């Protein structure tokens, strides 16, 4: 019985399927309890019918819940607040489905004939005659098509079909605007920050006065001009312009010479958009001046021009140069000096601020 297909291909690898123990053949069928005991079989029959009889009850329950339970009713189960309608609809429908499933399987397990049967297997390959017939048909067809004598039709057809890929692919060129240098300069390399734009609280749009920000405080802010935008333009602008303002003790931080006039008495302003993949960074460690991104844990040192101190981000957090207006409110001195958010291929980001720059 151990003649196996493996032996038919002895060219490689001595696979030895022979068992030292002879195959005893298919195990003898052992009758189930329900096969030999009529009472047990009747009991199983009643159980299965009983399960099915419960299904209509549950379906009626579902309908009652659907029409009678108010949408906002709540249910307390073990201290958890469940939405009553959702829970009861699911409970009735779920149990009904469960009963159908269990009764069908129980039927197959204990009442249907459980004699194992044995079938033949054949190799996956077609029989040799079939292969030869198809090859012969192919030959006849090729001959009939006269492609061997008129070869140009074949290559012409292949070339024509191949070329038709071009219109299909080119038609996709309008999927989006092309990020040419001019387009990039107006989109991903630019935010709505500009000289004289006020820094405002990101929820109330109230202007921020420099002397009202305490040492250690962090404010989420936006440009005042953001509120003029709506819809898509608003979301796109906000996705780049979001900033955080922190005030630190000037003596405990390092401000490079080139950025001395980017800050107001230890009030520094950074892009909120992570230079890794663009999450809004929001976890602030007041004492270490570190800012941690909750998405992938890139950590930036705001007391040191936003350089990366940990995590997968590679570029320093862009800093927004700020000053105060005549009334002491914080305003931007310009847009960000480098693009915010993740790096991109066309721009060499190695000249961004790194540790040690002055």
Partner 1 sequence: MAKPAQINPSSPAMEVRTPPQEESPSKLAAPAKWVDDRIGLAKLLGNIRKIFPDHWSFLLGEIALYSFVILLITGIFLTIWFKPSMTEVEYAGTYQLMRGVPMSEAFASTLSLSFDIRGGLLVRQIHHWAAMLFVAAMTAHMLRVFFTGAFRKPRELNWLIGVGLLSIGLIEGFAGYSLPDDLLSGTGLRFVDGLVRSIPLIGTWAEFFVFGGEFPGDLIIPRLYMVHILLVPGLLLGLISAHMALLVYHKHTQWPGPGRTQRNIQGYPFFPIYVAKAGGFFFIVFAVTILMGAFMQINPVWIFGPYNPAQVTAGSQPDWYMGFVEGAIRIIPNWEWHLWGTTWSWNIFLPGVGLMGLLFTSLALYPFIEAWITGDTSEHHLLDRPRNAPVRTGLGVAGMAAYGMFWLSGGNDILATQFHVSLNAVTYFMRAAVFVVPVLAFIVTKRICLSLQRADRDRVLHGSESGVIVRSPDGGYSEAHQPLSQGEAYTLTRHPQPAALVPNGKKVGRLRQRLSHWYAAGQVPKPTAAEIAEAAHHAAVEDGHDAPALEGGDSGDTP
Residue 231, by phi and psi: left (phi above 0), alpha (psi -120 to 50) or beta?
A: left
In terms of CB distance, is 209 or 296 closer to partner 1?
A: 296
Distance CA 331, CA 224 (A): 9
Q: Please report how close the Cβ of residue 33 comes to partner 1 at its closest, in angstroms.
A: 18
Q: Please report how close the Cβ of residue 322 comes to partner 1 at its closest, in angstroms.
A: 18
Q: In what order do the strands lie in the sheet with 307-310?
A: 283-285, 290-292, 299-301, 307-310
Spatial CA neighbour of 212 closest among 333, 334, 324, 336:
324
In terms of CB distance, is 146 or 297 closer to partner 1?
A: 297
In terms of CB distance, is 250 or 280 closer to partner 1?
A: 280
In terms of CB distance, is 101 or 154 closer to partner 1?
A: 101
Q: Please report how close the Cβ of residue 114 comes to partner 1 at its closest, in angstroms.
A: 7
In terms of CB distance, is 27 or 214 closer to partner 1?
A: 27
Cα separations in angstroms, 130 against 122, 124, 127, 134:
14, 13, 5, 6
In terms of CB distance, is 202 or 321 closer to partner 1?
A: 202
Q: Please report how close the Cβ of residue 19 comes to partner 1 at its closest, in angstroms.
A: 4
Q: In what order do the strands lie in the sheet with 243-247?
A: 199-201, 218-223, 243-247, 267-271
Is residue 246 within 8 A of residue 267, CB to CB? The reply is: yes
Q: What residues does 283 pair with on adjacent strands?
A: 292
DSSP structure class, residue 26: S
Q: Please report how close the Cβ of residue 345 comes to partner 1 at its closest, in angstroms.
A: 5
Task: List, in order, residues 6 or more apart from 126 with CB less than 8 Å away.
Answer: 134
């Amino acid at each position: 019985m151990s003649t196996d297909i493996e032996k038919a291909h002895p060219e490689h690898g001595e696979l030895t399927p022979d068992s030292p123990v002879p195959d005893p053949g298919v195990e003898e069928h052992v009758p189930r309890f329900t096969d030999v005991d009529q009472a047990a079989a009747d009991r199983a029959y009643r159980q299965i019918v009983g399960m099915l009889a419960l299904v209509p009850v549950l379906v009626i329950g579902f309908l009652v819940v659907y029409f009678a339970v108010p949408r906002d009713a709540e249910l307390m189960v073990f201290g958890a607040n469940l939405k009553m309608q959702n829970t009861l609809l699911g409970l009735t429908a779920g149990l009904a489905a469960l009963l159908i499933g269990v009764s069908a399987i129980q039927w197959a397990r204990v009442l249907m004939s459980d004699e194992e049967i044995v079938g033949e297997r054949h190799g996956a390959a077609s029989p040799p005659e079939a292969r030869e017939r198809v090859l012969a048909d192919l030959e006849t067809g090729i001959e009939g098509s006269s492609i061997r004598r008129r070869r140009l039709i074949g290559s012409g057809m292949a070339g024509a079909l191949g070329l038709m890929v071009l219109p299909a692919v080119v038609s996709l060129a309008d999927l989006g605007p092309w990020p040419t240098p001019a387009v990039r300069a107006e989109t991903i390399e630019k935010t709505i920050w500009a000289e004289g734009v006020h820094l405002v609280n990101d929820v109330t749009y109230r202007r921020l006065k420099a002397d009202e920000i305490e040492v250690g405080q962090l404010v989420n802010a936006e440009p005042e001009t953001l509120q003029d935008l709506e819809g898509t333009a608003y979301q796109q602008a906000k996705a780049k312009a979001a900033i955080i303002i922190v005030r630190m003790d000037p003596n405990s931080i390092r401000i490079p010479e080139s950025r001395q006039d980017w800050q107001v008495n230890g009030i520094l302003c950074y892009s909120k958009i992570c230079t890794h993949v663009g999450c809004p960074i929001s976890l602030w460690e007041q004492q270490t001046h570190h800012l941690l991104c909750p998405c992938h844990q890139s950590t930036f040192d705001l007391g040191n021009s936003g350089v990366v101190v940990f995590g997968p981000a590679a570029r320093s957090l862009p800093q927004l140069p700020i000053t105060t207006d005549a009334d002491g409110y914080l305003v931007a001195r310009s847009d960000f000096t480098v693009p915010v958010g993740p790096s991109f291929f066309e721009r060499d980001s190695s000249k961004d601020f790194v540790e040690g720059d002055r």
